[in-house]
Amino acid sequence: MRKYLFGTGLISAVTGGVTLLRGLRDDEPFTWRTALGWASWAITLALAIGAVVDTRRASRGKLVAGDSPRAGEQAKLLKKRLKG
């Protein structure tokens, strides 16, 4: 599970969220740019979590969606998992 939690996608999403939280501490008003920043962060976080879920499912030999970056790799990842 550690290899999933410390993936670069999740780390970058968390650091982006921290940056956005720091921006809220200032006395700046909440503008449409801030809203777009939060929406972008939410999409990035959702995609990173989806990639982790797809990688885990593919490594267990289960089917993943066709639009996933791991589509078609289920057999290879399952073989790697069973080997070591």
pLDDT tens-place values along the chain, 84 residues long: 566 666 778 888 888 889 888 888 877 788 899 899 999 999 999 988 888 887 777 777 776 676 676 666 666 766 776 776
pTM of the model: 0.70
**How is the chain split into domains, by residue range?**
2-83
Side-chain half-sphere exposure of 74, counting CA atoms within 13 A = 14
Q: Are 7 and 52 in contact (CB under 8 A)?
A: yes
Which CA distances in Å does 71 have to 21, 42, 56, 62, 67? 35, 23, 12, 10, 7
The percent helix, strand, coil of the chain (3-state, each to 5) is 70, 0, 30
Cα separation of 2 and 68, whole Å?
21
